[in-house]
Amino acid sequence: MLIKFFYTLRAAKLQVSVQEFLSLLGALRQGVIADEGGPTIDKFYFLARTCLVKDEAQFDKFDRAFGAYFKGVEMLTDFSQDVPLEWLRQHLELELTPEQKAAIEKMGWDELMETLKKRFEEQKERHEGGNRWIGTGGTSPFGNSGYNPQGIRIGGKGGNKSAVKVWEQRAYRDYDDNLELGTRNIKVALRRLRRFAREGSELELNLDDTIHKTAANAGLLDIRMQPERHNKVKVLLLMDVGGTMDEHIHRVEELFSAAKTEFKHLEFYYFHNCVYDFVWKNNRRRYAEKTPTWDVIRKYNKDYKLIFIGDATMSPYEILQPGGSVEYNNEEAGAEWLQRLLNAFPKHAWINPEPQGVWQYRQSIALIQQLVHQKMFPLSIAGLESAMRLLSK
């Protein structure tokens, strides 16, 4: 059975050796996962990943291969919630006319938070289809699968993109920097930013100078060498991940893969929706291994070109309001941190994967555009070329 699993991993271009596979089989024989409760698919997943994957950047490939072999078996994750799951179980899909939607009033930030606190204290059972309690399929600002122009989504899937906070634990995955591109156009666009300089030891033949010196020396060969050319551009990449960015994963992965190829000096971090007081390198450990944004500002000098990649689609509170983050209570507004980053890195640009035609209808996009001094460009070949030309000046 597991022989085919081994070949599935190899077909997914994972560098799994026979010795590592034998280590996995040995661990199974020793009963490593046969502890209390017996072996489960989840225990086998973590054991196999530990034995077979040497580089965390390959975790995503392993997950896809594992899921393909075991035909969609899902990994279990501990999503502990204080809200009873029965309250959030969806039984109907709410459909409202534009007139009905316009008639629903939205609360201000302070009123929204205070009202949620009161609902937790008062509510004792599940509700569906109403306009007051925490539930599903209604017009209440608390719950999921309904409609409200400004509320707090609790569990469930988002649809209207109008929640100002989201009450759930979400697992984001890293963008795959090894994705093979179907086109070279993105790489060609990024090359507009590259700046080459001669540095290092003399390892490369200078053909033109050799011919000139040999001719001047009456035909006696006079070989001339020169240092190799190296790309001197330094890029700091900050990428939005999760939420509405899930719609753009493939295109962002293409851009990330091209950037890793084209820029020798590339540093990257992740954030969600807006940058606050910390960023992270690994989405699986984003709560345990945070990097303070102040450390990023201090570590990299002004030689770095700062590039944001994000759809800038969020509640305006996330940008302007302390505590506005959908995931935690940030002490300072996102706009404050964005301004600090832009002051630290004068050469900056924001790449937006959302179609440019919808930008004017999103209040948050207009706010981000204003903060980055209108240096926002669409994730298209023309947009990338414009951004690279700006950064190269």
Q: What pLDDT does 78 receive?
A: 36
In contact, 12 and 65? CB cutoff 8 Å? yes
To 10 degrees, the CA torsion angle through 144, 149, 152, 155? 20
Q: Whole-angstrom Cα distance, residue 271 to residue 280?
A: 7
Q: From CA 295, how far away is CA 287, in angstroms rounded?
A: 17
Higher pLDDT, 110 or 362: 362
Count of Cβ atoms closer than 10 Å to residue 100 Cβ: 12
Residue 249 DSSP label: H
| Confidence at residue 86, expressed as pLDDT on a 0 to 100 scale | 52
Helix, strand, coil % in the chain, rounded to nearest 5: 40, 20, 40
Residue 348, pLDDT above cutoff 60 = yes
Give CA–CA dist 173/155, Å, rounded.
Answer: 19
As beta bridge partners, residue 152 has: 142, 165
Select the more confidently predicted residue: 175 or 328. 328
Question: Who has greater pLDDT, 42 or 100?
Answer: 42
Calculate the average pLDDT of the chain.
Answer: 75
Measured CA to CA, the distance from residue 52 to residue 139 in angstroms comes to 49
| Mutual angle of helices 18-29 and 41-52, in 10-degree steps | 140
- What are the sequence ranges of the domains in the chain? 2-69, 85-167, 185-189+232-392, 197-230
- Residue in this structure with the two tokens 């190899």, named with its chain if needed: 10
H-run or E-run covering 23: helix 18-29
Residues 192, 140: Cα–Cα separation, whole Å: 50
What average pLDDT does the segment 175-187 reach? 51
Does residue 332 have a pLDDT over 90? yes
Confidence of residue 145 (pLDDT cuts 50, 70, 90): low
Q: Tell me if 136 sits within 8 A of 88, measured CB to CB.
A: yes
- 343: which residues sit within 8 A by CB, 6+ positions away? none
How confident is the model over 241-251, as pLDDT tens digits? 988 888 888 88
Q: Which 3 state secondary structure label does DSSP give 348? A: strand
Per residue in 264-274, pLDDT (tens digit) is 788 999 999 99
pLDDT score recorded for residue 299: 93
When comparing pLDDT for 277 and 120, which is higher? 277
pLDDT at 81 over 50: no
Q: What is the pLDDT of residues 11-58, one digit of tens each?
A: 888 888 888 888 888 888 888 887 766 777 778 888 888 888 887 667
Quick one: how far is CA 259 from the chain centroid? 15
With residue 342 as reference, give the H or E element that holds it.
Answer: helix 334-344
Side chain identity, residue 5: F
Q: Flag the least confident range among 82-96, 102-116, 363-377.
A: 82-96
- pLDDT higher than 50, residue 75: no
Whole-prediction pTM value?
Answer: 0.52
Q: How far apart are CA 353 and CA 309, in angstroms?
A: 8
d(CA 161, CA 243): 9
Query: So what CATH class is 185-189+232-392?
Result: alpha beta
Q: What is the pLDDT of residue 274?
A: 93
